[in-house]
Amino acid sequence: MRALALSAFALLAACTQAPAARHVTLQCLDAGHLEDQAVIPAGRVDRGDVAFNREELVGGSGQVAAFSIDTHEVTNRQFAAFVAATHYVTVAERTAPDGQRTGAAVFDPNQHAWRVDREADWRHPAGANSTIAGRDFFPVVQIAYEDAAAYARWRGRRLPTENQWERAARLDAPAPHDIHAEAFAPNGVPRANTWQGVFPVVDRGVDGFEGLAPVGCFAPNAQHLYDMVGNVWEWTSDWYAADRAPASEIYARDHDPNHIAERVIKGGSYLCSDTFCSRFRTGSRQPADPGEGMSHVGFRTVGDVPRRT
Ligand SMILES: [Ca+2]
């Protein structure tokens, strides 16, 4: 597992005096909708926006066949059912090559920093003293890529490609040029769980949540999908390292002998703020170590739909 470090923070956001909200909501979707899926019709996807990051377009766009996709991020309750049925042991719970428990990466809001916590796993997302009790409807986190893929296989499904994910987010519409358009209404009211304030110092929780939110607390998109922006980043099956973007830093990464092949994650998370990350856009992407669970990465699954004859 790689050491985690937050690079220099651009502490540029202006703070206001809005009171901080506390998340007391434990459920937003009715439990009867936990297995809901939406059918995304075949068609074109117009991925990313070069105006933000040149590499957003790499390897993408074109036609996508019809598929189904979970309407929300996989929840703790759903993942618990998978573990109960299969006795699956996640990567975080296994023994690492150094003989210690693998653990996972935890963002500690009190320390304002990431740490690798050997006791963290999906049942203890912030370490030994944390729990998911009462959080059945929160997205499962501390899930490495192979854990997510195993869950998807158990359901007869798989993880989305990056093109599928973006088509589900916007059909054939291009990514908005306004960086805030998908996370905030035109009047500035949040419509996704992101971070309001100066990251990582203060999250004012104007959107109603400091930290994770239960799935489905914000209005769905036109495809009836919840939380495609914010809350947790979502695994896709695309390799990030396979890309050959012209950006010099990516060239350097691909030629670093210590570089770990990474998967693309999409959608941004509750840690994305104006001052750090700011990838609360469906066109954005980020690399993630597939062997590492993180407290801001979850997933949803996709599957085939019957072809019309
Ligand atoms: Ca928030």
Q: What single string gives the DSSP state of each residue in 194-211?
A: ---SSTTT----TTS-SS
Q: Kindly give the distance from the C-alpha atom of residue 88 to the centroid of ligand 1, in angstroms, as a whole number.
A: 31
Q: How far apart are CA 141 and CA 204, in angstroms?
A: 22
Indicate the pTM of the whole model.
Answer: 0.88
Query: Quick one: which of 2, 40, 25 has its CA closest to 300?
Result: 40
pLDDT at 255: 58
DSSP state of 33: G
Q: Kindly give the distance from the C-alpha atom of residue 5 to the centroid of ligand 1, in angstroms, as a whole number.
A: 22
Q: How far apart are CA 175 and CA 65, in angstroms?
A: 20
pLDDT at 77: 98
Q: Kindly give the distance from the C-alpha atom of residue 210 to the centroid of ligand 1, in angstroms, as a whole number.
A: 5
**DSSP-derived pairing of the beta strands 302-303 and 67-70:** antiparallel
Q: Kindly give the distance from the C-alpha atom of residue 73 to the centroid of ligand 1, in angstroms, as a whole number.
A: 16
pLDDT at 20: 44
Q: How far apart are CA 172 and CA 229, in angstroms?
A: 17
Q: How far is CA 183 from CA 192, 228, 245, in A?
A: 5, 10, 27
End-to-end CA distance of the chain: 48
CB 227 within 8 A of CB 193: yes
Q: Kindly give the distance from the C-alpha atom of residue 305 to the centroid of ligand 1, in angstroms, as a whole number.
A: 34
Q: Kindly give the distance from the C-alpha atom of residue 22 to the centroid of ligand 1, in angstroms, as a whole number.
A: 10
Condensed to tens digits (0 to 9), the pLDDT of residues 135-182 reads 999 999 999 999 999 999 999 999 999 999 999 999 999 999 999 999
Q: How many CB atoms lie within 10 A of CB 228?
A: 26
Over the chain (309 residues), the average pLDDT of each successive run of 10 is 38 34 77 95 92 78 95 98 98 96 96 96 97 97 98 98 97 94 94 94 93 97 97 95 50 60 94 88 94 98 83
CB 38 within 8 A of CB 164: no
Extract the tokens encoding 225: 């999908």
pLDDT at 277: 80
Q: Kindly give the distance from the C-alpha atom of residue 245 to the centroid of ligand 1, in angstroms, as a whole number.
A: 32
CB 183 within 8 A of CB 193: no
pLDDT at 14: 30
Q: Kindly give the distance from the C-alpha atom of residue 177 to the centroid of ligand 1, in angstroms, as a whole number.
A: 22
Extract the tokens encoding 284: 């954005």
pLDDT at 240: 86
pLDDT at 50: 80
Q: Which amino acid is at 59?
A: G
Query: Quick one: which of 264, 272, 282, 289 has its CA closest to 58?
Result: 264
Q: How far is CA 305 from CA 54, 68, 186, 248, in A?
A: 33, 6, 35, 40
Q: Kindly give the distance from the C-alpha atom of residue 280 to the centroid of ligand 1, in angstroms, as a whole number.
A: 11
Q: Which amino acid is at 139?
A: P
Q: Kindly give the distance from the C-alpha atom of residue 96 to the centroid of ligand 1, in angstroms, as a whole number.
A: 33
CA quadruple 279, 148, 47, 187: dihedral sign = negative
pLDDT at 227: 98
H or E, element range at 154: helix 145-154
pLDDT at 37: 97
Q: Helix or strand or coil: residue 119?
A: coil
Extract the tokens encoding 108: 């500690």
**Residue 108 Ramachandran class (φ > 0 left, ψ -120 to 50 alpha, else beta):** beta
